[in-house]
Amino acid sequence: MFSEINVRFCLKPGGSLNGQIRVPGDKSISHRSIMLGSLAEGVTHISGFLEGDDSLATLKAFRAMGVQIEGPDNGKVVVHGVGMLGLQSPAAALDLGNSGTSIRLMSGLLAGQSFDVEMVGDASLSKRPMRRVTDPLALMGAKIDSAEGGTPPLHLHGGSQLKGIDYTLPMASAQVKSCVLLAGLYAEGQTRVTEPAPTRDHTERMLQGFGYAIERDGATATLSGGGVLKATDIDVPADISSAAFFMVGAAIAENSNVLLEHVGINPTRTGVIDILRLMGAELEVTNERVVGGEPVADIRVASSKLKGIQIPEELVPLAIDEFPALFVAAACAEGETVLTGAEELRVKESDRIQVMADGLIKMGIKAEPTPGGVVIQGGSMRGAEVDSHGDHRIAMSFAMAALKASGSVVINDCANVNTSFPGFVSLASQAGLNISTK
Ligand code: S3P
């Protein structure tokens, strides 16, 4: 949305991270709270909503389809649900900015509506693969046009009666799983989705929270179309994917000790904790509790002596958004870190394997990309000017790398940090990062 403006992060080397930090709300849960709240019967009160560009794109899209939504006001949002059949045809194309979650989940939700919808995105989103959602939706009877190459814009033709399918995902993707399940709400009969490895299950949990019957049997989730959603209240925990930057920062920097408060620790999201522990991080999970159907805890991380590891492949989908930060941890670890089975990283907001390797190499680290991962030799990092390619998580990862660099770090193209982490610069500088913007 704002990616045409070159916001640069400038970091002085060194420093440490300390204090109690509450990072913004979970992006995945924020998106879903607007989607399900909009289709519910009754009024949904959300607190802790992420006021980032991505979740705001979802919010605006539902407003454009006639849903009355108050806020956000300090993380509080009130959604006046219109019921399963209450959405209205939007006057213009829905602009989903940088947000893959919005376009993929909404493809499912909107495929069975009576009206046509056009969904567009920014330069990054316009390059991302959508056949992974349009293929199963076509099997359900949806009519969707995409650009050549199966990328956005997507044009959904209204008026198709969807039918349930039994679908095995070709890749571990919560977005694709959610898309098919959400289309299943509007389909005749049962929709069954089987995943090759566990991925985040916020859609399944939240459907249950809204009173919609969904069954889970091993790797398969099943629901039947034609039910109703009942409004509920949602307390969005802090996003573990945003907390991850501070976990890595505190682990690599000397004299650091941070307490990350109220972090969502859904077991389908905690790969970053497991991987950092395997690397030797001093990390403590305390005060575990359940808030609105999602497990939450406080996480303390202190300066640690990290070692390189072979990252277990089963942890990859559980840490899929945290690899840019984990690559920085690997660069600061003693020895070699090897990641395999992570091809999906190449089709995120940027090619995260290549872009991270390029930046780490500029900082003097030996990083060798492979088709499905990377091999990183821990070492000493020098200052450098690196490019985030408009990818929020790349920008924040290199910001943390400055804690261990011997010279200044300049990161280009950082405006999209606002997609997931508004206020990053001020929160990180309060914690001790020597960061400014230019
Ligand atoms: C998300 C799922 C993940 C993740 C993305 C958010 C979600 O994508 O990378 O940031 O909210 O469902 P995939 O499911 O495509 O891996």
Does the beta carbon of 199 sit less than 6 angstroms from any atom of ligand 1?
yes
Residue nearest to atom 5 of ligand 1 (CA): 101
In this structure, which CATH number among 2.60.120.1440, 3.65.10.10, 3.40.50.720, 3.40.50.10490 belongs to the domain 2-25+237-437?
A: 3.65.10.10
Tokens of 9: 């992060």
* Interatomic CA distance for residues 322 and 314, integer angstroms: 14
Does the beta carbon of 99 sit less than 6 angstroms from any atom of ligand 1?
no
Tell whether pTM > 0.85. Answer: yes
* Interatomic CA distance for residues 272 and 360, integer angstroms: 20
Give phi and psi for 281, each to the nearest 5: -70, 145
Does the beta carbon of 65 sit less than 6 angstroms from any atom of ligand 1?
no
Residue 321 is among the residues annotated as catalytic for this protein: yes
| Structure confidence by residue, pLDDT tens digits, 83-113 | 999 999 999 999 999 999 999 999 999 999 9
The residue whose two tokens read 């492949």 is 313
Looking at residue 1, its pLDDT comes to: 41
Tokens of 350: 């940027």
Does the beta carbon of 101 sit less than 6 angstroms from any atom of ligand 1?
yes
Does the beta carbon of 178 sit less than 6 angstroms from any atom of ligand 1?
yes
| Residue tagged active-site, from 95, 321, 391, 413 | 321
Instruction: Give the distance (Å) from ligand 1 centre to CA of residue 101.
Output: 6
Instruction: Give the distance (Å) from ligand 1 centre to CA of residue 317.
Output: 9
| Structure confidence by residue, pLDDT tens digits, 363-380 | 999 999 999 999 999 999
In this structure, which CATH number among 1.10.490.10, 3.40.50.10860, 1.10.10.60, 3.65.10.10 belongs to the domain 27-235?
A: 3.65.10.10
Does the beta carbon of 181 sit less than 6 angstroms from any atom of ligand 1?
no
Looking at residue 209, its pLDDT comes to: 97
| Structure confidence by residue, pLDDT tens digits, 77-89 | 999 999 999 999 9
Interhelix angle 271-278/240-252, nearest 10 degrees? 10
| Structure confidence by residue, pLDDT tens digits, 147-200 | 999 999 999 999 999 999 999 999 999 999 999 999 999 999 999 999 999 999
Per-residue pLDDT at 257 exceeds 60 = yes
| Structure confidence by residue, pLDDT tens digits, 276-331 | 999 999 999 999 999 989 999 999 999 999 999 999 999 999 999 999 999 999 99
Does the beta carbon of 320 sit less than 6 angstroms from any atom of ligand 1?
yes
| Structure confidence by residue, pLDDT tens digits, 55-73 | 999 999 999 999 999 999 9
Ligand 1 pocket mutation, candidates 36, 55, 173, 268, criterion most atoms within 8 A of CB: 173
Per-residue pLDDT at 2 exceeds 70 = no
Contacts of 388 (CB under 8 A, 6+ apart): 350, 355, 394, 395, 398, 411, 412, 413, 414, 416
Residue nearest to atom 13 of ligand 1 (CA): 173
> How much is the average pLDDT of 387-412?
98
How high is the mean pLDDT of the chain? 97
Task: Give the ligand 1 atom nearest the CA of 203.
Answer: 12
Instruction: Give the distance (Å) from ligand 1 centre to CA of residue 173.
Output: 6
Long-range contacts of 122-126 (CB under 8 A, 24+ apart): 122/1, 122/3, 122/97, 122/98, 123/3, 123/390, 124/3, 124/98, 124/349, 124/350, 124/390, 124/391, 124/416, 125/96, 125/97, 125/98, 125/99, 125/100, 125/152, 126/151, 126/152, 126/153
End-to-end CA distance of the chain: 18
Tell me if 2-25+237-437 shares its fold with 27-235: yes
Tokens of 420: 């997931």
Instruction: Give the distance (Å) from ligand 1 centre to CA of residue 196.
Output: 15
Report residue 3's pLDDT band, with 50, 70 and 90 as the boundaries: very low
Per-residue pLDDT at 352 exceeds 80 = yes
The residue whose two tokens read 């509450």 is 22
Looking at residue 4, its pLDDT comes to: 55
Instruction: Give the distance (Å) from ligand 1 centre to CA of residue 99.
Output: 10
Instruction: Give the distance (Å) from ligand 1 centre to CA of residue 172.
Output: 10
So where are the chain's domains? 2-25+237-437, 27-235
Does the beta carbon of 344 sit less than 6 angstroms from any atom of ligand 1?
yes
Residues 404, 334 contacting (CB under 8 angstroms): no
Report residue 214's pLDDT band, with 50, 70 and 90 as the boundaries: very high
Q: Provide the 10 A C-beta neighbour count for residue 43.
A: 15
Q: Cα dist. 297→266, 325, 428 in Å?
A: 10, 20, 20
Residue nearest to atom 11 of ligand 1 (CA): 28
* Interatomic CA distance for residues 127 and 123, integer angstroms: 7
Does the beta carbon of 321 sit less than 6 angstroms from any atom of ligand 1?
yes
Looking at residue 230, its pLDDT comes to: 98
Looking at residue 5, its pLDDT comes to: 73
Show the CA angle centred on residue 403, arms to residues 361 and 366, nearest 5°: 20
